[in-house]
Structure 1
Amino acid sequence: MLLSDLSLSRRLERAERDSNARFVEARAAVSPDVGAGWIDVGGTYAMFDGVESPCTQTFGFGLFTAPSSGDLDTIERFYAQRSAPVFHEVSPIADPAHLELLASRGYRPIEFTSVLYRSLDGDLAIAAPADSVARPFQGRVRIVDADEVERWAQTSAAGWSDVPGVGPFLVDLMRVAAVRPDARLFLAEIGGRAVAAGALTIDDGVALLAGASTIPDARHRGAQLALLSARLAYASQHGCDLAMMGALPGSGSQRNAERNGFRIAYTRTKWQLSAGTRA
């Protein structure tokens, strides 16, 4: 039985850290004008993907080595040189010294993420949400071909079309995600029409599930459950023993993940350096 401990946290955070670094590298390849890049500071990856990008942040602070003011100096300079805000995604299993250190430097917590995981050994059966009609997905799920990257990106972004102001921004993010050589992109289709999208990346036996969305008029028809099932099966067949994902604490996404064998490993905190407090 897997326990939520330092070893597991390092494995999960390493998978997400490395996945984000690959995204930044893809951005640098397709949009060199952005100046995307990342540095390794004692196992903490500080990543820059543009001032407004959610990928501009660090992963792993205090988890692989003891946190230090010197490391923070280096990280803060990296972002200051790019006129970017400073964000750290920090596991609660990191060295507890990070709490006092970040607070003393003017950081404040702004967001929580439930980090969930499940074993890929044994039964991978997927359960329908308790508040839905349990019925098989009336379509198919498949991995996209190389010439369908744009279709996947548009479908993934369309799943957020009912959220004002995020459309063009998300299409851009998904286009970059889609050209990563390590990404596996999945589409759910009904009658040949793409209605939902999802992705996964693999790092040292950990499958990171991300990029999941369903277009508004096709929701509640089982597309996301079908995508989840297909991705878990793919990960298992390709040597993964763990799957992971992140969700807003208490959200429908978290509850659905828990119904399907995922457990909360821990709740990660995002810290932001307050304006005017740079070293």
Structure 2
Amino acid sequence: MRRAATSLALVDELERCEIESMADRMTAIQERTGNPEGVEIAKVGGVTCFYSQTMPWPAFNTVKGLRNEGEAELAAIVDFYRERERKPQFELVPGLADPLLMRRLSGLGFGQTGFHATLYADLSEAFEESNAPGSIYIRELDEDEYTLYGTLHCRGSGLPDNGIAPVAANNRVLHGRAGWKLYLALWEDEPAGVGVMRSDGRSAVFTFAATLPEHRGKGIHRELLLHRMRQAKLQGCRFAVSQCAFQSQSHRNMEQTGMRIGYVRASWGEL
């Protein structure tokens, strides 16, 4: 089947999906009683700035939607984070940010720190069917299984066990929230992995997935991808979107299911 070339309009749409998904997730965490993670979401023009007081990692303190902002807008964004004593991550999407923006960021003390890939599947096209062994079973997570979710999330992604309780709390708020589905993967009835999806009826974003180290190499991550693709298609979505480290095992699994690169963004941080 001949595939259409990626366009700037598609790149813009994929980024929009990711921004809306992140904004909804951070809003859900912010709405926890007392906002214990200290979440703030600020808008500067068309740019969205995410911040968490207790979660210092770049994923929760990131600037999305950058285009060709002027010096005043960039200064306001930098001030937002410096007032909170946080170093932000800027995400620059190829084709949507020009060299002048990069020079302005460099002048403020920022430089490129990495790359990250955004992949997508056009669900109107045929995609690979599951041929998973009968040992793999995937179902939605039950409301009383969020401690289990936190355990799989942390141990599958290399986080320490003291993160289980906060991870459980920050994902429990997604249970029953419009558009969100969390899936549990079992290997021979033993919990082995998790996957998360947010859908708006037009597109679905696969926001997270992890497999326990002892269950890797069995096709679980791939099946979580295919399961979410099928569910997204049933919900009428045209696209499925996900992020991963470039050329990681997750990247290879995504391409094996028919997903392809939409763009590779540049991550910029304070040097």
Fold in common (TM above 0.5) = yes
Sequence identity (%): 24
> Which residue does the alignment assign to 2:125?
122
> Which residue does the alignment assign to 2:113?
110
* Residue number among 198, 206, 211 corresponding to 2:208 in the alignment: 211
- Map Cα deviations across residues 29-48 of structure 1 (whole Å, 9 max, x no partner): 22614321101112210010
1:230 and 1:266 map into 2 onto residues whose CA distance is 23
Q: What aligned pairs does 1:42-57 form with structure 2 within 5 A after superposition?
A: 42-50=45-53, 52-53=56-57, 54-57=59-62
1:60 counterpart = 2:65: yes
> Which residue does the alignment assign to 1:131?
none
1:13 and 1:166 map into 2 onto residues whose CA distance is 31
> Which residue does the alignment assign to 2:27?
25
Gaps of 5+ in 2: none
2:56 counterpart SS class: coil
**Does the 8 A contact of 2:222 with 2:257 survive in 1?**
no
2:165 and 2:127 map into 1 onto residues whose CA distance is 31
Q: What aligned pairs does 1:64-213 form with structure 2 within 5 A after superposition?
A: 66-96=68-98, 97-126=100-129, 136-160=133-157, 163=158, 166-169=160-163, 172-173=166-167, 175-180=169-174, 181=177, 182-203=179-200, 205-213=202-210
**Does the 8 A contact of 1:137 with 1:221 survive in 2?**
no
> Which residue does the alignment assign to 1:220?
217
- Map Cα deviations across residues 226-267 of structure 1 (whole Å, 9 max, x no partner): 211110011001111111111211222212211221111111
2:214 and 2:64 map into 1 onto residues whose CA distance is 35
Paired AA for residue 193 in structure 2: A
Q: Taking structure 1 as reference, are residues 236 and 194 closer, same or farther at Cα in structure 2, changes over 3 Å only?
A: same
- Map Cα deviations across residues 63-110 of structure 1 (whole Å, 9 max, x no partner): xxx311111122112112211112111101213132222122221000
1:154 and 1:118 map into 2 onto residues whose CA distance is 29
2:42 counterpart SS class: strand
Q: Taking structure 1 as reference, are residues 224 and 44 closer, same or farther at Cα in structure 2, changes over 3 Å only?
A: same
**Does the 8 A contact of 2:225 with 2:254 survive in 1?**
no
- Map Cα deviations across residues 127-154 of structure 1 (whole Å, 9 max, x no partner): 7xxxxxx852413101112232332222
2:81 counterpart SS class: helix
**Does the 8 A contact of 1:118 with 1:261 survive in 2?**
yes
TM-score, scaled relative to structure 2 = 0.88
> Which residue does the alignment assign to 2:227?
230
Deviation at 1:174, TM superposition (A): 5.2
1:257 and 1:67 map into 2 onto residues whose CA distance is 33
1:172 and 1:222 map into 2 onto residues whose CA distance is 28
1:203 and 1:46 map into 2 onto residues whose CA distance is 22
Deviation at 1:273, TM superposition (A): 2.4
2:113 and 2:161 map into 1 onto residues whose CA distance is 24
- Map Cα deviations across residues 209-228 of structure 1 (whole Å, 9 max, x no partner): 13211112222222222211
Deviation at 1:126, TM superposition (A): 4.4
Gaps of 5+ in 1: 128-133, 275-279
2:41 counterpart SS class: strand
**Does the 8 A contact of 2:29 with 2:173 survive in 1?**
no
When the two chains are superposed, the root-mean-square deviation of aligned CA atoms in Å is: 2.1
1:270 and 1:75 map into 2 onto residues whose CA distance is 16
